[in-house]
Structure 1
């Protein structure tokens, strides 16, 4: 009997759903499609049908996906046709409850092949979940070997701008994103990178020594990553509530959505949640759009000045009968350099203004993250004193130094660097103008020829 083709379900998505949450959500279904042997053509066709029926963002085009047969890890790549950039989604723990029960039922003598495959996928995910508490996983582990190759293959043809995922997929997205220098990591109710105290309790102090070395590696590895990591969590996430009581390692900034919802990815797809997520993720886009506009304006200004310089040169050649004097030649060279330098200086100055605005918002976010962390700590440790709450948070690598002081220092350093660059441009422009004035001082007739170009 011919088996019906697996149908990808979009689960509350629309044409206008936010990109990262859409991809995190659909990644589970792409994994199911891979498990059911749907090839890229069939997956692409189904995604196109979803878009036509207002069940998936119209600007996202399916590129490719890969499910590691050994680990169950599934990665899916989508191209944002508006930006030309790719976002990769990592599937989390994909539970096939009925298939698992049917396959493991000793009295079910007729085993369905696809149910067995789905059940195996669930068990691989459960194993990966359990591994978080038992072992520290790094980007170098065999667990990610094939997935890393998939990412490298996608990067040959596309610019991967963002990686996303939910739960276990969120943990994987942080590790894969940081190890591949992907600029943005946006994850939903992510699992921690590791949980130190549970591992030590189960395995004992001796057997956990290799993991301690991996702990040090993963913390150093995350610190060296200079991209953006945003953990979006619901305030009633069961996993987050448990993890916050342990000595765990995570990364990035945390955004808490106070919607009273639990761990499931569907909790982020409501109208209110989507609005909050878009408001946060669209902010950098606003700064980028402003920078793009200033770039276009500066480029136009430079182009106009260069055209004027060409006209001045043509007039000089015509007036002299075909040859330029050394003074005229030098003057034209300095004017060309000046027009380019002034345009670049303008771009740097306007970009600095946008970055200052963005950094001001980020600084407020750092303070809020620390306040939210303390509030969560007090809520879960009602019997603890304030000092004990701070100690418990610190044991989980959550402290004011990490969330506020260090980010503030990094921002201050970046702004200092930008100010230095701006000063260098100002100095260069000033030197060019001095050279132009020296030439004109020796030959006043040149001043009338160049007009207001200097």
Structure 2
């Protein structure tokens, strides 16, 4: 039995990326068929393609460091798109810069090239009578895959030791920068909030499945979780699979677990997640989670702004209100609508109409009105009021 398809693509994309970088393909001089032949040769000799899978297309963007690859499932006529993660072997500086700025500070500048590749792969898939149904990636590649899934509402996404979509702890970092360079910090902060709001907006209409496989000792996820990293989907942990590298997911024991989980989802069954913290936060009570968000964002902001000048406080306050982060009093009097708080302490009342009420962060008071209201304590911490 060959490797499970998503894990193979997740791993093979690194070899594809190395081939693009080391051979320095010039797309103006080389046709896609020539590049395809050269990459196929590398794969055959170094990472044999599983039966039923066919290399279709790839591209590398030297500016952002993004590399995408598309493989065709010849039996199902479905295409799997994979994105490379942080690659220390050929372009560590570019990839780590993307990790730090675009994910760590939530700037999102790396996504456009990933979107462009997806569209290119869609076009090529259509020539084969196929569609993209699955996304995958490891580390930074998992970040790409989650965001691309939201953008195109891709049916299935399977990622490995993935980086988060954004970090909540970035907000106090902006407040620290604000003291030294208000204008630059404001620009970064507004871009961060635009990235977050784009993600949240896309998430509302997202109907795909996201499955995250993670090593118990994965350093990236440990740090990310401490910083309030936000992910999509269900998470499944693997013990004794190393600290981060993708190769551990290709071992026989891990391959069996991956197949078991994916087969269950394929049949429309729910496969119990073995992670009790980040699958709906079932094991952590809401009080603890509110304290966590207060610890990560609200309290640091208060402390950092203690010695701000009145002018600085006024500017920062306006930014927080504009981006939905300050304490708010939200009242719905007539219409049926979504009512959302900020990350601080909010009082939210739904009066007439059928309202969905979200207390985003901080210690919130949520009150439904006379009609059929649904109350969500926190988008990041609670699936439903009763959790």
Q: TM-score range by the shorter chain?
A: 0.5 to 0.7
Of the candidates 63, 75, 82, which is equivalent to residue 70 of structure 1? Answer: 63
1:107-146, Cα deviation, whole Å (9 max, x unpaired): xxxxxxxxxxx4xx3322111111211233179x545454
How far did residue 56 of structure 1 move? 3.8
- How do 1:271-350 and structure 2 match up within 5 A? 271-285=252-266, 287=267
Report how far residue 369 of structure 1 moved.
Answer: 5.8
1:92 alignment partner in structure 2 = 85
Structure 1 Cα separation of the partners of residues 211 and 279 of structure 2: 17
| Alignment deviations for residues 246-283 of structure 1 (CA, whole Å, 9 cap, x no partner) | 13322111111122521111121222111111100112
Richer in helix (by share): 1
- Written as runs of structure 1 = structure 2, the 5 A alignment for 1:152-191 is 152-157=122-127, 158-191=130-163
Deviations 1:367-411 (A, max 9, x none): 956679566x7xxxxxxx9943563269798988767745999xx
5 Å-filtered alignment, 1:223-262, equals 223-259=204-240, 261-262=242-243
1:31 aligns with 2:24: no
SS of 1:156 mapped into structure 2: helix
Structure 1 residues 69-218: aligned runs within 5 Å: 69-96=62-89, 118=90, 121-131=91-101, 132-137=103-108, 142-144=112-114, 146-157=116-127, 158-198=130-170, 200-202=172-174, 203-204=177-178, 206-207=186-187, 208-218=189-199
Displacement of 1:155 in angstroms is 4.2
TM-score by length of 2: 0.65
- C-alpha change, 1:370 and 1:175, in structure 2 (3 Å) is closer
Residue 251 of structure 2 is aligned with which of 261, 267, 270? 270
Contact preservation (8 Å) 2:165, 2:230? yes
Q: What residue in structure 2 maps to residue 44 of structure 1?
A: 40
Task: Name stretches of at least 5 consecutive residues in structure 1 with no aligned partner.
Answer: 1-14, 97-117, 288-354, 378-384, 410-454
Structure 2 gap segments, 5+ residues each: 26-34, 179-184, 298-359, 362-376
Match in the other structure for 2:31: none
Cα distance between partner residues in 2 of 1:407 and 1:280: 28
CA RMSD, Structure 1 to Structure 2 (Å): 3.4
Q: Name the SS of the counterpart of 1:244 in structure 2.
A: helix
Q: Relative to 1, partners in 2 of residues 1:190 and 1:407: Cα closer, same or farther, differing over 3 Å?
A: farther
The verdict on how the C-alpha distance between 1:78 and 1:367 changes in structure 2, with shifts beyond 3 A counting, is closer
Per-residue CA deviations over 1:10-43 (Å, capped at 9, x if unaligned) read xxxxx52111111101100000111133621121
Does the aligned pair in 2 maintain the 1:229–1:253 contact within 8 Å?
Answer: yes
Quickly say closer, same or farther: Cα 1:404–1:366, change in 2 above 3 A.
farther
TM-score, normalization by structure 1? 0.56
SS of residue matched to 1:63 = strand
Helix, strand or coil at the partner of 1:75: strand
Distance 1:94 1:159, change over 3 A: same
Q: Would the aligned equivalents of 1:235 and 1:256 in 2 still touch at CA under 8 Å?
A: yes
* Cα contact 1:366–1:403 (8 A) shared by 2: no
Residues 133-167 of structure 1, C-alpha deviation per residue, up to 9 Å, x if partnerless? 1233179x545454244234334333111110000
Aligned length: 287
